Amino acid sequence: MTRELLEGNYAMAEAAVRAGVEAYFGYPITPQTEILEWMSHRMPEVGRAFLQAESEVAAINMLYGAACTGARVMSSSSSPGVSLMMEGLSYIAGTELPVVLIDVVRGGPGLGNIAPSQGDYNQIVHGGGHGDYFPIVLAPASVQEAIDLTVLAFDLAEKYRSLAFVMADGSVGQMMEPAELPEMRPVRKERPDWAVTGAVGRERRILSSIYLNVELEEKTNFRLLERWYEVEKNEIRYREYYLDDAEFVIVGFGTAGRIALSAVRAARAEGIKVGLLRPVTVSPFPAAQVAELAQKAQAMLVVEMNTGQMLNDVLRIVKGACPIEFYGRMGGVVPYPDEILNEIHRITREPVSPDGDPRLRWMQRFTPGRGQ
Amino acid sequence: MQTEIVIAGFGGQGALFAGQILAFAAIDSGLDVTWMPSYGPEMRGGTANCTVVIADEEIGSPLVRHAKAAVVLNLPSLEKYEPLLAKDGVLIVNASLVNRSVTRSDVDGLLIPAQEIAETIGNRRLTNMVMLGALVQKLPVLPLKAIEDALNNHLPERHRRMLPSNLEALRQGAAYARGELKVEGVGLGALEPTETVAPTSV
Classify each residue of A68-86 as buried b or exposed e, where b means 16 or more C-beta atoms within 10 Å of its C-beta.
bbbbbbbbbbbbebbbbbb
Handedness of CA A314, A315, A321, A325 (dihedral sign): positive
CATH number at residue B120: 3.40.920.10
Q: CB contacts < 8 Å between A and B, how many?
A: 66
pLDDT score for A207 = 97
d(CA B142, CA B136) in angstroms, rounded, equals: 6
ipTM of this complex = 0.94
What range defines the domain where residue B11 resides? 2-177
Given a cut of 70, whether residue B185 has pLDDT beyond it is no
Domain for residue A370, yes or no? no
In this structure, are A59 and A169 located in the same domain? yes
Which 8-state DSSP code applies to residue A351? Answer: P
Which CATH number belongs to the domain containing residue A343 in this structure?
3.40.50.920
C-alpha–C-alpha distance, residues A53 and A59, integer Å: 5
Chain B residues closer than 8 Å to A175 by CB: 34-37, 62
Q: Are residues A221 and A254 in the same domain?
A: no
Query: How far B40 CA lies from chain A's nearest CA (Å)?
Result: 7
Q: Which of A5, A178, A259 sits opposite B61 (nearest CB)?
A: A259
Q: What is the dihedral of CA B120, B126, B132, B134, to 10 degrees?
A: 10
B132 closest CA partner among B10, B23, B2: B23
Of all helices (H) and strands (E), which one includes residue A138? strand A136-138
Q: Which of A5, A262, A264 sits opposite B20 (nearest CB)?
A: A5
Would residue A15 count as lying in a domain?
yes
Number of domains observed in the structure of chain A: 2
How many residues in chain B?
202
Residues of chain B in contact with residue A6, where contact means CB-CB under 8 angstroms, are none
Residue of B2, B21, B63 for testing the chain A interface, max A β-carbons within 10 Å: B63
> Is residue A196 included in any domain, yes or no?
no
For all residues of chain B together, what is the average pLDDT?
91
**Domain assignment present for B195:** no
| B193 lies in some domain | no
Question: Do residues A221 and A320 share a domain?
Answer: no
Are A228 and A282 found together in one domain? no
Q: How large is the average pLDDT for residues B6-15?
A: 93
If asked whether residues A97 and A219 sit together in one domain, one would say yes
User: How far apart are the C-alpha atoms of A210 and A301, rounded to whole Å?
Assistant: 44
CA distance B81 to B87: 12
Inside any domain, residue B188: no
Has residue B201 got a pLDDT over 60? no
Of the partner residues A175, A260, A337, the one whose CB lies closest to the CB of residue B64: A337
pLDDT score for B186: 66
- Asked whether residue A200 is assigned to any structural domain, the reply reads no
Domain span at residue A258 reads: 238-365
Helices (H), chain A: 8-18, 33-45, 56-68, 79-84, 86-95, 121-125, 143-159, 170-174, 214-234, 254-269, 287-296, 309-318, 337-349, 358-365
Question: Is there a single domain that holds both residue A97 and residue A226?
Answer: yes
Q: What is the mean pLDDT of residues B165-176?
A: 98
- Cα separation, B163 vs B178, in Å, equals 23
Say if residue A89 is in the same domain as residue A212.
yes
Question: Quick one: A218 and A270 in the same domain?
Answer: no
Helical pair A358-365 and A309-318, crossing angle rounded to 10 deg:
140
**Helical pair B144-154 and B127-138, crossing angle rounded to 10 deg:** 140
Tally of domains within chain B: 1
Domain of A118: which CATH number? Answer: 3.40.50.970
A230 and A245 belong to one structural domain: no
Say whether both A230 and A274 belong to one domain.
no
Window 295-354 of A: residues touching B by CB (8 A cutoff) are: 334, 336-338
Nearest C-alpha neighbor of A220 from the set A146, A156, A133, A307? A133
Cβ–Cβ gap A258/B64 under 8 Å: no
Does residue B40 form part of some domain?
yes
Using a CB–CB cutoff of 8 Å, tell me whether A356 touches chain B.
Answer: no
Shared domain for A153 and A92, answered yes or no, is yes
Q: How confident is the model at residue B44 (pLDDT cuts 50, 70, 90)?
A: low
Domain for residue B95, yes or no? yes
Are A177 and A94 contained in the same domain?
yes
* Confidence band, pLDDT 50/70/90 cuts, at residue B111: very high
Asked if the C-beta of A175 comes within 8 angstroms of chain B's C-beta atoms, the answer is yes
Tell me which residue in A115, A176, A261 faces B60 most closely, judged by beta carbons: A261
DSSP state of B199: S
Contact B4, B69 (CB under 8 A): yes
Nearest to B40 among A114, A263, A337 (CB): A114
> What tens-digit pLDDT sequence spans chain A (372 residues)?
589 999 999 999 999 999 999 999 999 999 999 999 999 999 999 999 999 999 999 999 999 999 999 999 999 999 999 999 999 999 999 999 999 999 999 999 999 999 999 999 999 999 889 999 999 999 999 999 999 999 999 999 999 999 999 999 999 999 999 999 999 999 999 999 999 999 999 999 999 999 999 999 999 999 999 999 999 999 999 999 999 999 999 999 999 999 999 999 999 999 999 999 999 999 999 999 999 999 999 999 999 999 999 999 999 999 999 999 999 999 999 999 999 999 999 999 999 988 899 999 999 988 764 444
Select from B44, B47, B87 the least CA-distant residue to B67. Answer: B87
Residue A181 counted as domain residue = yes
Measured in whole angstroms, how far is the alpha carbon of residue A241 from the centre of its chain? 20
Length of chain A in residues, anyone?
372
Chain A residues within 8 A of B62 when measuring between CB atoms? 171, 175, 258
